[in-house]
Amino acid sequence: MRDATVSPPESKGLPLATQIGWGLGTLGPALIMSAFNILMLRFMTDHIGIAAATAGLLIALSKLYDAVTDPLTGVLSDRTTSGRGRRRPWLLWGGGAMAASFVLMFWVPTFESVAVATAYMLVMLLLYASAYSAYNIPYLAMPAEMTTRFDQRNYLMTFRVVSVALAGILAQYVGLRIIAASGGGREGHETMALALAPVVLASTLIAYLATRNAPFTVKAATQPRYPLTEQLRLIGRNRPFMLLLTVKFLTLMMLGVQAAFPFFFNQILRVPDNVLAAYFLTVQMTVFVSQPVWLALARLIGKRNCLMIALFIMVCIGLTWLLAGEGDPAWAMYARGLFLGFAQGGVLLMGQALLPDTMEYDFHLSGLRREGLFAAFYTTIEKTAQAVGVTVIGAFLGTMGYIAGGKGLADQPDSALLAIRLSVGLIPALLCGSAFIALLFYNLSEARLQELRRRLPAHPQA
């Protein structure tokens, strides 16, 4: 049995089928999160009749719930004992619950009272949060166990980023087309969720089966048991991880701000959802094809520098939306999509490829194998940041006088239109610029990890 207090041997390389299968495992959670970020705020305001500020508050409450439950899920994952590994059983449980919650969030009964509808949506949001955590936290802990090779972690994460791009296409292009073809409104959203839920189930099952022979660590009986509060203190000593969390919070909050895009395309550009779908298709296809470029750049200049380049591009693209308006040429919109997709490909790949490195660095600091707890914090940041983005947009629109219409679009005051424009242009640029500054202080390189591995025999826990 592999001892969790000893670093796994240098990996000879994972089979391609294992890498692809694990990467496809992110298709389900990414599909739901993408649909959630783009559609949920507008769905609750324009089709359920919930005020924008209230809708944002519901999302915020579900993320406060995550802040409590995610670390507990991570600890349970670390302590799971199974011949199938500590993580894989969770993929089955969480995957089924995610698919169910996806349908229930968009399949809202017709209630006579908006208050009852609001309560229903809160319960569904909590169900979704629980299911997402049960799946995604163990899932994200797996790469640090499956391979110790610096370059292979980059390569492994490309399959995850490709799946994120595919999920974006399914949610933001196929999903929007399904909604439009089904007449829009509640019925269109119900049809969309029912059509895409089987994809969620299939992706989680593929990940479970494909990783059956992947390396994993087990918790040794001799490993010290620290209270959760002490573990949190030890995590705070991991400076690279704390910086990575800061960067991820800012960049993922920017992705949550994308909830403003449906409003922007409808109210500012005055184009239908089919055009929005085509724009998102452009973005996600560019994310997909950009991966070989970012892999090559990472080998030349390192992960951190690639991430900084990608963030700089996103700042520039965000500011150009401030100049957009009704009647803009289509080529300008799609050019923004191409540059944004290229930059998002770098942000997604490099941000995720840095995570296993910080997990390994923690092992060298503490002698503990607690990838699940680290994945829990990462997942909490991932969900909280995007939810904060959605919540901020909802509160901002509400404050600026956005009119929620239960049966579709309503004419908006100039203040609300200004809020929509700032939400798409200025706010994302500020977030990405702040992440760029934080990365200046990140210094965990491949050379530093290699040096720590050479010193491993002298570790007090070895």
State the CATH number of the domain containing residue 42.
Answer: 1.20.1250.20
Question: Using one digit for the tens of pLDDT, what is the confidence trace for 406-446?
Answer: 444 557 788 888 888 898 889 889 999 999 999 999 988 77
List, for the chain, all residue ranges whose pLDDT scores fall below the cut of 70: 1-13, 81-85, 148, 150-151, 215-234, 256, 369-371, 387, 404-410, 456-462
- For residue 21, give its domain range: 16-213+227-457
- Cα pseudo-dihedral 148, 149, 153, 156, rounded to 10: -100
218 part of a folded domain: no
Task: Check: CB of residue 173 under 8 Å from CB of residue 278.
Answer: yes
Q: What angle do CA 106, 285, 192 make, to 5 degrees?
A: 15
195 part of a folded domain: yes
**Torsion sign (Cα): 17, 348, 358, 245:** negative
Query: What is the identity of the amino acid at 116?
Result: V
7 part of a folded domain: no
Q: Could you give the number of structural domains in the chain?
A: 1
Check residue 180 and give its pLDDT. 85
318 part of a folded domain: yes
Q: Which residues contact 289 (CB under 8 A, 6 or more apart)?
A: none
What span, in angstroms and rounded, lies between the C-alpha atoms of 415 and 397?
9
Check residue 53 and give its pLDDT. 81
Look up residue 6 and give its two tokens: 């000893």
What span, in angstroms and rounded, lies between the C-alpha atoms of 210 and 328?
46
434 part of a folded domain: yes
What span, in angstroms and rounded, lies between the C-alpha atoms of 166 and 26?
10
Check residue 195 and give its pLDDT. 95
Look up residue 365 and give its two tokens: 């600091």
1 part of a folded domain: no
366 part of a folded domain: yes
Task: Check: CB of residue 405 under 8 Å from CB of residue 277.
Answer: no
Map the chain to HEC letters: CCECCCCCCCCCCCCHHHHHHHHHCCHHHHHHHHHHHHHHHHHHHHHHCCCHHHHHHHHHHHHHHHHHHHHHHHHHHHHCCCCCCCCHHHHHHHHHHHHHHHHHHHCCCCCCCHHHHHHHHHHHHHHHHHHHHHHHHHHHHHHHHHCCCHHHHHHHHHHHHHHHHHHHHHHHHHHHHHHHHCCCHHHHHHHHHHHHHHHHHHHHHHHHHHCCCCCCCECCCCCCCCCHHHHHHHHHCCHHHHHHHHHHHHHHHHHHHHHHHHHHHHHHCCCCHHHHHHHHHHHHHHHHHHHHHHHHHHHHHCHHHHHHHHHHHHHHHHHHHHHCCCCCCHHHHHHHHHHHHHHHHHHHHHHHHHHHHHHHHHHHHHCCCCHHHHHHHHHHHHHHHHHHHHHHHHHHHHHCCCCCCCCCCCCCCHHHHHHHHHHHCHHHHHHHHHHHHHHCCCCCCHHHHHHHHHCHHHCCCC
462 part of a folded domain: no
What span, in angstroms and rounded, lies between the C-alpha atoms of 462 and 425?
51
